[in-house]
Structures are given as structure tokens and as C-alpha cells.
Structure 1
């Protein structure tokens, strides 16, 4: 099956699988939400605009993992702001569970290039911009090949490779590999920051 016909099947699978997992994980999400509210306070959810397919902007929803910036308390960088609970949620990808709602709505797919920051759009090369030819995903080819331990250039190369090679078999492989990566807690950070250094464009990070 070629990529374009598969996109229609892919959307149906996103709704079926994403919706089922969303419902089945409601008890887990209620527990996580309670812990976030207790440890980090309100709001429970992290909401941020991200570019999706064809660079259309949508609101990404995740569980909050960081304290609000507070220079007086030394809470400036991600490494300072992330809490022990937040680190655990990221390591187990439990913070991503509310993002299943983005999948069901059609903002995202289960598999695809990760949605990044809106202000990165002006920094992409023409080839890197091709990552927006498909819906962004909760997991993707870059995530199972190093996640945040990859350089930006390697990550974008894998994103574009996914755009060109996307298929049911590839998505199934990525989903199974993702489960393995999460269980092993591999590639959560780039080794220098709590998340990933900012992409500056022109081959710089």
C-alpha cells in the first residue's frame, strides 16, 4: 500500500486505537492528574500551540511536569523546573496520555514526526519542513532511534525518512519499538539538558 492510500487507513486506526487506549487509561490518568495537582498545583495540564500537518497550529495537551518559572527561587532552566514526579512521568511517557485526545481529534497521529515549537517553523530548511507533510505523532522514527539523544539534524533526517516511507508495517514496527524504549527508559534527554537543546537553525542547536 502506497503512502497516500495508507493515510486514510492510518486515520481510521488512529481513531480506533487512540480512542480505545484513551478510554482504557482513564483510571491511570485520574491518578496521574491527582498526583500532579498535589505535587505541582494547578493547572494539571500543559497546553501549548504546536504546528501540525501543513503547518496548521493546534493546541497540544499533556500532563504538566514542570514548575512555573520563578527566577527568585532559581527556577529558570528546564533542569531546575522539572520535578521528581515530572521526571518519572516523562521517563514512563505517562505525561503523554492526554495527547491521545489530540490523536482522536485529528490534530495528531499515533505515529509521525513529533510536533515541535511554532517558532521553529522559520528556522527549518526546505527539506526539514517536509516533516509537516503528515500529521505529527506521539511517537515516531526518531523517537525509536535515539529520541532526545539524537542531534537535531539526525532527528529531522529520520522525520523526513518517515514521511517518504510511511506504511502500516513501519508504523507497527515503531509502535512495538516505542513500548520497548519506554520500558527501558532510553533516550529521554540529550545528556546535557532536562529535555532537548533549542533548535536554532542553520545546523546549530
Structure 2
């Protein structure tokens, strides 16, 4: 079985659909979109989305290459005892472009703030991170971290699954974000 070829526009449509539903759900990466409107804004968005969406070297079998960051969000939730907790949620899309079934490589994602690696928020878990995808499908996944400073930017880094090199690194300002309920 070979690697599934998908168009950039089809992947963008899948990512947009997943972003609207939040973390959760999967979609065939080469599925169709009913609203195939062509305008300059959508073409610009497509170019921006793929400026960092195709992470990693596509000629390798690096599983982290199908992971793209959709954004970071401040969230508040309540644990089983009714106590409120706050965390940073990194929303991502994983597209399995390998020639075999695969899971989102969440262990390769980390966040830093003021040069210090943030701890994972163990109270939050996303069931999509454990789902296995067939080649050509994508899924929205999230990973949660505990903030050290609610006003300082957060740097999201994704390591290659083949080496210790980073295939993605971007800093997100979070001071303007409000906490929203999960």
C-alpha cells in the first residue's frame, strides 16, 4: 500500500472542519467539501495554513510530520471532586500520511515558557490521542499543559520521531486570551 496523495485544498477543508468542532472527531483527508468557494481570502488562508502545516521532511517515515498546530487556548474545567483547574490547551490536527495505521505522536509535543519546559496537565486527557488512524485520515487532537505565567508567550515545539531535532517551533502570545470553559 503506498502513501495516500491528498490535495492541499482537501486537507485545508478537513482542518477547517475539525477546527470548527474543536478537539474531537475524524475525517477522511481527501473527502469533499460542499462549500468549494474560491476567493482570495481562502487562497491566502491555505498558503498560511501550509506554511507550517506540513511539518517535517515528507520523504522520510517521520510520524511527527503529519502533526500541525491549530492554536493554543486557555481553558478552565472542573475535576471529579468539583474543584476548578486551569490549563493551556494546544489544539492540533494529525493527518496520517504514512503507509500504515498510526496514532498522533503526542509524546513529541512540548511547550516552553520563559525558557522552562511546562508540565503536562494530567487532569485533562483527550481520547483522540489514543485512536489509531488509517492512512489518509486526519483527526483533531489536544494536549494540555500547566502555565507558569499566564501573561508570557508560550513556545510550542514538536520533535522529530526520527531524531532529537525539532520539526516545528512557534511562539504564541497568550496574554490576550481569556480562560474559557471546556
More strand by share: 2
**TM-score normalised by length of structure 2:** 0.28
**TM-score normalised by length of structure 1:** 0.26
